[in-house]
Structure 1
Amino acid sequence: MKSLVLKNLQKTYFDPYAGSQVTAIRDVSLTVQPGEFVSIVGPSGCGKTTILNMVAGFLPASGGEILVDGQPVHGPGPDRGVVFQSFALFPWKTVLENVAFGPKMRGVGRAEREAIAREFLELAGLSHAADRYPNELSGGMQQRVGVVRALANHPDVLLMDEPFASVDAQTRMTLQEELTRIWQERRTTVIFITHDVAEAVFLANRVVVLSKGHVLTEIEVPLPHPRRWDALMEDEQFKGLSALVLQKVRSA
């Protein structure tokens, strides 16, 4: 578990249609504590995915600094795992081989990496699917494979970009509950991007609301764990926090 710190982060780019520089992110500062789960919400175009891509090392920052456990980020690295909205699994590899891929790239021997993969598949309730291929799985199962594939590489920070947006509502709720359970066991530091206010509150210890490339507000979520939808659906504190976050998003 390691901390993630954004210091005065900025991102500008040239818009050929406008013929000028555009500021996508301006002066964002944020500290995510070791083992903390932070959701980032905001209207479309506010910079959520841009921030995640800079933390992942896919985009260079135009200004400011990104630190993982005090070390500056200059590009992609195994200390940061990423789970995308698309399942992004290797279709020619089995589920076991997909999950073992990260450890394999780190030079872990075959027996050890397969043991690691089986451990994480068991954690996600997917042991029975180890020898199947992605196209033989439901969308929800594929996304669970994507989550544990990222975790199997033991990242210090897990970055999740709307990972449940492409599945149906019932599957999404199940995946949210599974994610909170896995997070409770592993306590990986997580940044979770979503448009869904209820999802943000259900998952996180803290919700960060973005507006036009800067942090509008941060809202603590003191709801106890474990979290289950059947318990929280009518919970007054949950409903109040969701309403507060929605109000802030709409004001953004």
Structure 2
Amino acid sequence: MKSLSLKSLSKTYFDLYAGSQHTALHDISLDVPAGEFVSIVGPSGCGKSTILNMVAGFIPQSGGEILVGGEPVKGPGADRGVVFQSFALFPWKTVLENVGFGPKMRGIPKAERDEIAREYLDLVGLAHAADRYPNELSGGMQQRVGVVRALANKPDILLMDEPFASVDAQTRMTLQEELTRIWEERRPTVIFITHDVPEAVFLANRVVVLSKGHILEQVEIPLARPRIWDQLVEDDSFKELSNKVLALVRAA
């Protein structure tokens, strides 16, 4: 796994209608050691997804540096896997083919990439669904496939943009527990974007709160792992940390 460093990062857009510039991010500096799980929260429009898209290499920064393992990001790369809010699966490919897509693009032979895909499907209890198509799966199952499709390419950094926002509450909790279990086993460096404060606290080692394009505060989350909702929902430390982060978001 690799570390991630943002150094004095900024992003400015030009508004054609208003004829003026809009600064989405300014002077963002953040160091994420290899293997850390960081959640980023903040009100709508604060720049959360802009950070993720720049780290992914989808859009260029206006200033500053993005370093992955000490090397500057110059565009998309296999060292960074992205999981979106929409499932973004290929509907014409089977579940096995979807998960094996990244290894296929790296030139891994079919037998080997099928083995890799089955390993990751087994990780989320979907080995039985390998030959199905996405439209034959529930929303929660599709999002499981989306997560392991990114992981099967063995990225150093996993970038997740509100990946559980479109599923029901019970499925969301199950997916959160599964993600923490996968992270404990594989330890990718994770940047997780969310509007949901309890979700951010439940998942992360550290929660970064954004406000109007800059970092307002960072909150360490020293909760023990493994994390299970039934054990944490009434935990005083979890409640205190969630309330602290929520107060910061409201202030932002």
Q: TM-score band (shorter)?
A: over 0.9
> What CA RMSD, in Å, does the superposition of the two structures yield over aligned residues?
0.4
1:115 counterpart = 2:119: no
Partner residue in 2 for 1:232: 232
Letter in 1 for 2:203: L
Name segments (4+ residues, structure 1) moved above 4 Å. none
Counterpart CA distance in 1 for 2:138 and 2:129 is 11
User: How far, CA to CA, are the matches of 1:41 and 1:188 in structure 2?
Assistant: 20
* 2:34 matched residue in structure 1: 34
Judge which range, 13-22 or 140-149, deviates more: 13-22
> Once the two structures are superposed, what CA deviation does each residue of 1:29-84 show, in whole Å capped at 9, x if it has no partner?
00111100000000000000000000000010000000000000010000000000
The code of the aligned residue for 1:86 comes to S
Paired residues for 1:159-174 under 5 Å: 159-174=159-174
Q: Residue 101 of structure 2 aligns with which residue? A: 101
* SS of residue in 2 equivalent to 1:191: strand
Task: Please state whether the residue corresponding to 1:176 is helix, strand or coil.
Answer: helix
1:201 positional shift: 0.1
Amino acid at match of 1:31: D
One-letter amino acid of the counterpart of residue 161, structure 1: D
Distance (whole Å) between structure 2 residues aligned to residue 212 and residue 92 of structure 1: 41
Report 1:1-252 matches (<5 A). 1-252=1-252
How far apart are residue 19 of structure 1 and its match? 1.2
Moved more, 99-108 or 11-20: 11-20
Q: Share of identical aligned residues, percent?
A: 80
Distance in 2 (alpha carbons) for counterparts of 1:183 and 1:94:
25
User: For 1:35, what is the secondary structure of its paired residue?
Assistant: coil
Distance 1:156 1:188 in 2: 6
Q: How many residues align?
A: 252
Q: CA deviation at 1:199?
A: 0.1
CA apart distance, 1:18: 2.0
Q: Gapped runs of 5+ residues in structure 1?
A: none
Q: Give TM-score, length-normalised by structure 2.
A: 1.00
CA distance in 2, matches of 1:76, 1:228: 34
CA distance in structure 1 between the partners assigned to 2:195 and 2:53 by the alignment: 17
| 1:17 CA drift (Å) | 2.5
Please list every run of 5 or more consecutive structure 2 residues that lacks an aligned counterpart in the other structure: none
Q: TM-score, normalised by structure 1?
A: 1.00
**Amino acid corresponding to residue 18 of structure 1 in structure 2:** A
**Mapped partners of 1:19, 1:235: distance in 2:** 51
